[in-house]
Amino acid sequence: MNTIYILWIRQLKRFIRKKASLVGALGQPVIFLFALGFGLSPIYAKAGGGNYIQFIAPGIIAMTVLFTSIFTGVEIIWDKQFGFLKETFVAPVSRFQIFLGKTLGGMTVSVIQGILIFFITMIAGFRPISLAKLPLAFLFLLLIAFLFSALGTAIAARLDDMQGFPLIINFVIQPLFYLSGALFPVHGLPSILSFITKIDPLSYGVDGMRYALSGTNFFSPFVDFSVLVGISVVVVLVGLYQFSKIEL
């Protein structure tokens, strides 16, 4: 447990030191929120959708958590190249503890940024439908952060190229985000898009966040929760297998 705590805190310290990365990570969701939120709001309202800011805000929060959490895998490659991971592996601790510590560190950083974006959405005019459901929204925030932090860590475990990791991750997260229903309603989509949306794990995170914050949903909250937990377990098992194959 001490190893998990140490790796967790180390990740947070890196986050605190890199103030520029914090600003950069918040830049994209803020642009999406204000440019798309206000730019498409009149069209969305005329189509009978209501307030677009109210619709898009949960998706933007989920986007922030997705991008930040999955890119924490870069730290694994960095640790490989500078020998820190080797020092950690020779310690008398299980690789499960190392994997979990890295994942929890990335999860915490992304949750912090997600909460910051939540307050920025409030400035943009977003209002949660019920304060009583905020803990549920936070639960879905944690689940999204844990799932994609674990996924980023699992992918990075098999890579050694710092330049290759962002290319692979962008190939993964761009479709995950754009096809999750974060920016558009998933009702009435063409059959192929509807199918892709249903197999996209982020769809269930966005749907759960939207239910808790805006009161609208496509799936049931129980289904959202179950899918996120189930996929998280699978990703953790895959990540542990990938960690077991690392040779330093």
237 alpha-carbon distance from chain centroid = 18
- CB distance 193 to 179 below 8 Å: yes
pLDDT one-digit tens code per residue, 42-86 = 887 777 777 888 899 999 999 999 988 888 777 777 777 666 666
Please report whether residue 12 resides in a domain.
Answer: no
Please report whether residue 10 resides in a domain.
Answer: no
- CB distance 93 to 54 below 8 Å: no
Please report whether residue 112 resides in a domain.
Answer: yes
Please report whether residue 8 resides in a domain.
Answer: no
Q: 3-class DSSP state for residue 158?
A: coil
Which amino acid type is present at position 178?
A: Y
- CB distance 108 to 75 below 8 Å: no
Number of domains in the chain: 1
pLDDT one-digit tens code per residue, 110-147 = 898 899 999 999 998 899 998 899 999 999 999 999 99
Q: Which residue segment(s) compose the domain that 235 sits in?
A: 19-244
Sign of CA dihedral 174, 200, 49, 134: negative
Please report whether residue 6 resides in a domain.
Answer: no
List b or e across 139-166, with b for residues whose CB sees 16 or more CB atoms inside 10 angstroms: bbbbbbbbbbbbbbbbbbbebeeeeebe
Alpha-carbon distance 100 to 93, whole Å? Answer: 12
Please report whether residue 13 resides in a domain.
Answer: no
Return the structure tokens found at 94. Answer: 């299980």
Angle between helical axes of 2-17 and 95-124 (0-180°, round to 10):
40
pLDDT one-digit tens code per residue, 145-201 = 999 999 988 888 777 776 777 777 778 888 888 888 888 888 878 888 889 899 999
- CB distance 53 to 210 below 8 Å: no
User: Would the pTM count as exceeding 0.85?
Assistant: yes
Please report whether residue 70 resides in a domain.
Answer: yes
Please report whether residue 91 resides in a domain.
Answer: yes
